[in-house]
Amino acid sequence: MNIINKLFSSYRLINGFLLFMAVTAMAFALLYLQKYLGLSACPLCIFQRVGMIGIGIFALLAVMVNPAKMWQRLILWLGAFASSVWGLVVAGRHVWLQHLPADEVPACGPGLNYWLDVLPIMQVFEEVFKGSGECAEIAWTFLGLTIPEQTLLVFAFLTIVLLVLLVKVVKKRI
């Protein structure tokens, strides 16, 4: 418990923890799942990675700059929080697609690269969130949880950490 109290006692330490989590999650996705196991990321997986990278970027900025003014800390917090909520929503959608009955799973369509080449960006978002058959496939599990379920838990945890950070920043306790 003492380690947790120390971790949550410093603005820089909390953001360092968020950065560590984001780097670890991306390393796991890229090095283990993609390179070692050879799993390809579906469009929803890529969108979840965008959320994780966003958290990492804003946490890195917070660690490097360590702003003294509350409004600066709130702007960095808002960027990380928006990234976390983005990842939470995308992972939730992905989990929902994986739990659809087989006859309700959308058909596989062209890949994300094709959509980015030929469709306007807003239509790309629409197509990705509709999901496709490849997003409903379960390629790997750990402790009975699929990759999107694990990612959903990580984003939920990071969102809670960010909410704790917000409370501390607003109450000027760090």
Return the CATH architecture of domain 2-170. Answer: Up-down Bundle (1.20)
Locate the domains of the chain by residue range: 2-170
pLDDT (tens, 9 = 90+) of the chain, 174 residues, equals 566 666 677 889 999 999 999 999 999 999 999 889 988 888 888 889 999 999 999 999 999 998 889 999 999 999 999 999 999 999 998 898 888 777 766 655 556 666 667 678 777 767 665 555 566 777 877 899 999 999 999 999 999 999 999 998 888 766
Q: What is the pTM of this model?
A: 0.82
| Three-class HEC string of the chain | CHHHHHHCCCHHHHHHHHHHHHHHHHHHHHHHHHHHCCCCCCHHHHHHHHHHHHHHHHHHHHHHHCCCCHHHHHHHHHHHHHHHHHHHHHHHHHHHHHCCCHHHCCCCCCCHHHHHHHCCHHHHHHHHHHCCHHHHCCCCEECCEEHHHHHHHHHHHHHHHHHHHHHHHHCCCC
